[in-house]
């Protein structure tokens, strides 16, 4: 069986059913684009335009100017990637910088009959009840579908030996988890100990930058590298941002946020430390010695 991970649309999925157009928006900074899409559908005769998705949650007033909001579309995630699915919504952690607890709640909503596909996008797999985790795994095994990507990953605080043993037989893609704040250090260190025999390319760690001072963020990145993982830097953006521009806080600048993101995500750290990185916005080459 040859199954691929599919491709994600660039933030806005849209389709038409009769005289109704549907627009699903993943990110708030895609809302101006969504407005233009709504105008297009009205120009070709759609009498109703409905909008939803995470990108609409903090900007309902903005969205209400061009579309109807409300209701839900089952399996809308497949419109963003036909190989993606969800078995649950919600996350009990309640991170202040995350839209999930605000939008989907701090208690889980289960979708036990979810369509089995190779990209699983649940908000927090390791915090799910053990029996429901096993239910998800059993459905993948029964369907013969490989789990190529647990997209949103696991939570270090709830990731333990049991979780690892449970998911190891079915997860073919990387083990993803976050190290977004300095207070998570002990839990992240435990996760790395559990994953000690997993190759670095399969230990991918989201490391948010910009919401803590530069030295604190860089320390988290360096700890991920030293622990044998691969960091992925994501600059902090406000949940209602209409422009994809990081929020500048503490001792950061917009330029430094972009420089660190490139140094991390292009894996330039393998060749040169950040202090020796030619941080010109036009290049990613290390400085000559």
At 279, the pLDDT band (50, 70, 90 cuts) reads low
Number of neighbours of residue 69 by Cβ within 10 angstroms? 14
Which CATH number do you get for residue 187? Answer: 3.80.30
How many whole angstroms separate alpha carbon 219 and alpha carbon 100? 26
pLDDT in tens, 136-168: 999 999 999 999 999 988 999 999 999 999 999
Phi, psi of 238 (to 5 degrees): -65, 145
User: Does the pLDDT at position 208 exceed 90?
Assistant: yes
User: Does the pLDDT at position 66 exceed 70?
Assistant: yes
CB of 61 closer than 8 Å to CB of 79: no
In three state form, how does the secondary structure of 241-257 look? CCCCCCCCCCCCCHHHH
At 72, the pLDDT band (50, 70, 90 cuts) reads confident
How many whole angstroms separate alpha carbon 199 and alpha carbon 21? 45
Mean pLDDT computed over 229-245: 95
How many whole angstroms separate alpha carbon 85 and alpha carbon 171? 15
DSSP secondary structure letter of residue 274 = G
* Domain match, 27 and 105 both: no
How many whole angstroms separate alpha carbon 26 and alpha carbon 98? 13
pLDDT at 278: 74
Structural domain containing residue 24: 12-69
In three state form, how does the secondary structure of 199-230 look? CHHHEEEEEEECCCCHHHHHHHHHHHHHCCCE
* Domain match, 113 and 46 both: no
* Domain match, 18 and 140 both: no
How many whole angstroms separate alpha carbon 92 and alpha carbon 103? 12
Mean pLDDT computed over 241-246: 94
pLDDT at 162: 98
- Residue 4 domain-assigned (yes or no): no
Q: Which helix (H) or strand (E) holds 188?
A: helix 185-194
Q: 3-class SS at 17?
A: strand
Mean pLDDT computed over 81-100: 93
Average pLDDT, the chain: 93
Phi, psi of 210 (to 5 degrees): 100, -25
Matching residue, tokens 């647990």: 150
Phi, psi of 36 (to 5 degrees): -65, -35
Could you tell me which residues come within 8 angstroms of residue 3 by beta carbon, excluding any fewer than 6 positions away?
A: 83, 118, 145, 146, 148
- Residue 3 domain-assigned (yes or no): no
pLDDT at 99: 87
pLDDT at 152: 87
- Residue 285 domain-assigned (yes or no): no
Mean pLDDT computed over 58-87: 94
CA atoms within 13 A on the CB side of 190: 14
- Residue 2 domain-assigned (yes or no): no
Matching residue, tokens 């997209």: 151
Could you tell me which residues come within 8 angstroms of residue 225 by beta carbon, excluding any fewer than 6 positions away?
A: 231, 269
* Domain match, 58 and 121 both: no
How many whole angstroms separate alpha carbon 121 and alpha carbon 215? 32
* Domain match, 135 and 163 both: yes
User: Does the pLDDT at position 60 exceed 70?
Assistant: yes
* Domain match, 56 and 198 both: no
Number of compact structural domains in the chain: 2
- Residue 91 domain-assigned (yes or no): yes
Matching residue, tokens 């806080």: 249
- Residue 32 domain-assigned (yes or no): yes
pLDDT at 284: 42
* Domain match, 237 and 123 both: yes
pLDDT at 136: 98
Window from 82-86, 102-106, 118-122, 208-212 with minimum mean pLDDT: 102-106
């Amino acid at each position: 069986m040859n199954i691929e991970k599919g491709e994600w649309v660039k933030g806005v999925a849209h389709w038409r059913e009769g005289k109704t157009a549907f627009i699903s928006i993943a990110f708030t900074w895609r809302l101006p684009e969504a407005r233009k899409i709504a105008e297009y559908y009205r120009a070709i005769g759609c009498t109703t335009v409905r909008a939803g998705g995470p990108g609409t949650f903090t900007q309902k007033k903005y969205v209400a100017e061009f579309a109807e909001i409300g209701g839900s579309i089952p399996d809308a995630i497949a419109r963003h990637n036909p190989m993606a699915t969800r078995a649950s919504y919600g996350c009990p952690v309640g991170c202040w910088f995350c839209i999930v607890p605000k939008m989907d709640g701090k208690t889980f909503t289960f979708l036990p009959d979810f369509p089995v596909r190779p990209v699983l996008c649940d908000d927090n797999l390791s915090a799910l009840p053990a029996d429901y985790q096993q239910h998800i795994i059993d459905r993948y095994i029964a369907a013969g579908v490989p789990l190529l990507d647990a997209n949103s990953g696991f939570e270090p605080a709830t990731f333990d030996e049991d979780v690892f043993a449970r998911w190891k037989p079915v997860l073919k893609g990387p083990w993803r988890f976050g190290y977004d704040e300095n207070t998570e250090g002990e839990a992240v260190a435990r996760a790395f100990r559990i994953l000690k025999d997993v190759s670095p390319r399969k230990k991918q760690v989201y490391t948010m930058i910009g919401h803590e001072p530069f030295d604190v963020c860089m320390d988290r990145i360096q700890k991920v590298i030293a622990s044998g993982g691969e960091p992925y830097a994501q600059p902090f953006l406000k949940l209602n941002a209409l422009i994809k521009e990081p929020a500048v806080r503490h001792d950061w600048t917009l330029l430094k946020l972009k420089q660190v993101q490139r140094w991390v995500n292009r894996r330039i750290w393998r060749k040169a430390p950040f202090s020796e990185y030619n941080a010109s916005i036009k290049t990613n080459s290390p400085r000559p010695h």
